[in-house]
Structure 1
Amino acid sequence: MAKILVFDKDPQSVHQLKGILAAEGHECVVSPDGYSVIPLAEQHYPRLVILDYNEAAGVEILQRLRKSNVGAMIPVIFASATSKYEMEFSVMDAPAVGYVEKPLDPAKVADAIRDFIGPKRA
């Protein structure tokens, strides 16, 4: 079981991600807003962060996370209705950054998580 930090401005997406993570056997820590991502990462030391990509806000959170003491190497998956190809190349080319498209497909989210933290443990 891995601890995964989630921030998404859409409550329905958060609810869906919580269900997917629970089904995969992971613990979900939800950030109520973008400003809380860094303090929660420092408090909980997640194995992975799933962020809503809403243009500049998602990029800014990633940049702040990478500059923090704890977040420099934490993998980040962006969940977005924006296509992967429309996202900034600098974000997608960054190390340890993945992407899942909204609406969320549970199998694709689970696969993206496994890409970064390995298979789920029995």
Structure 2
Amino acid sequence: MKKRILLAEDDQKLAQLIKDYLNQNGFEVIHELRGDRVVPLAQKHSPDLVILDIMLPGKDGFDICKDLRKFFRGPVLMFTARQSDIDQVLGLELGADDYVVKPIEPRVLLARVQALLRRTQAEKDGRQETVENLSFGELTLKPKARTAQLSESAIDLTSHEFDLLWYLAERAGQVVTREQIHRDVIGREYDGLDRTVDMRISHLRKKLGDDHQKPELLKTVWGKGYLFVPEGWN
């Protein structure tokens, strides 16, 4: 069965290019020009993935993403043309899974779509179902429930933040490179510029109460990567 993608893009030429390319690669694409029609379409057609442009007539991509996350559990990929938009996509925790910078290169978009769908399928397959909880001092991670507790209080983590924290915790005491995280957690190769990992580490530190200027739990090892400190949670 073909995977179904809902594409929200008001540039007709770009939308047709994307639709044709994704169709050629085995996807069913539903296209919508107006932002205020996207959520009803998602409710009606239950897409496997949603692609959102930020600037849309009727409703912008940020508001659409927030509304989608009230019921839609699949991946959301956003188009952006400005650095400030990238910061907002990553920083406001809207629930977007990834972004692609305009001008859109169809092959890059296809690779991102495929990576997101693979990751989603892996989660559905329950690869973590047989894994036991991880505990470090006052921190407990529960993969089945995908929850984290610190000092017996629940930490409000997004799905992506939990994935990253779990990945680092499984490798406690080891330096993990940005390239490894991109490949294994984000689902794509690091291009030398992408700030997704940095932003998610920053969010995790804030939620875990780790001093961003002098972190003791999730340390930055300059020139190498990140280190989950196992003894820091006591």
* Category of TM-score, reference length = shorter chain: 0.7 to 0.9
Larger mean CA deviation between 95-104 and 32-41 belongs to 95-104
Aligned partners of 2:10 and 2:33: how far apart in 1? Answer: 8
Structure with higher RCO (Cα < 8 A, 6+ apart): 1
Q: Which amino acid aligns with 1:104?
A: I
Cα shift readout 1:50-90 (whole Å, capped 9, x = no counterpart): 000239811111011112x3x1x121111122237743133
Deviation at 1:106, TM superposition (A): 1.2
After the TM superposition, which of the residue ranges 8-17 and 79-88 deviates more from structure 2? 79-88
Q: Secondary structure at the match of 1:54?
A: coil
Counterpart position of 2:47? 46
- Amino acid paired to 1:64: D
Higher mean displacement: 103-112 or 53-62: 53-62
Residues 74 and 96, structure 1, Cα contact 8 Å, conserved in 2: no
For normalisation by structure 1, the TM-score amounts to 0.82
Aligned partner of 1:61 in structure 2 is: 64
Map of 1:1-122 to 2, 5 A cutoff? 1-54=2-55, 57-67=60-70, 69=71, 71=72, 73-83=73-83, 86-88=86-88, 89-91=90-92, 93=93, 95=95, 97-118=97-118
Task: Provide the C-alpha distance between the structure 1 equivalents of 2:87 and 2:13, rounded to a whole number of angstroms.
Answer: 22
Give the number of the structure whose alpha-carbon radius of gyration is greater: 2
Q: 1:44 to 1:86 in 2, by over 3 A?
A: closer
In 1, are the aligned partners of 2:76 and 2:95 still within 8 Å (CA)? Answer: no
Q: Is the 8 A contact 2:86 2:99 kept in 1?
A: no
Kindly indicate whether the alpha-carbon contact (under 8 Å) linking 1:80 and 1:102 is maintained by their aligned counterparts in 2: yes
Instruction: Give the match's secondary structure for 1:49.
Output: strand
Shift of the alpha carbon at 1:19?
Answer: 1.5
Q: Is the 8 A contact 1:84 1:99 kept in 2?
A: no
Distance 1:86 1:113 in 2: 18
Mark the runs of 5 or more structure 1 residues left unpaired by the alignment: none
- Structure 1 window deviating more from structure 2 (48-57 vs 12-21): it is 48-57
Q: Could you tell me the percent identity over the aligned residues? A: 29
RMSD: 2.3
Structure 2 unmatched ranges of 5 or more: 119-234
Contact 2:62 2:94 in 1 (8 A): no
Q: Distance in 1 between matches of 2:34 and 2:87?
A: 21
Q: CA deviation at 1:17?
A: 1.2
Partner secondary structure for residue 78 of structure 1: strand
Q: How many residues align?
A: 115
Question: TM-score of the superposition, structure 2-length normalised?
Answer: 0.45
The residue type paired with residue 8 of structure 1 is: E
Post-superposition CA distance 1:69-118 (Å, at most 9, x none): 3x1x1211111222377431334x55551111111111110111011113
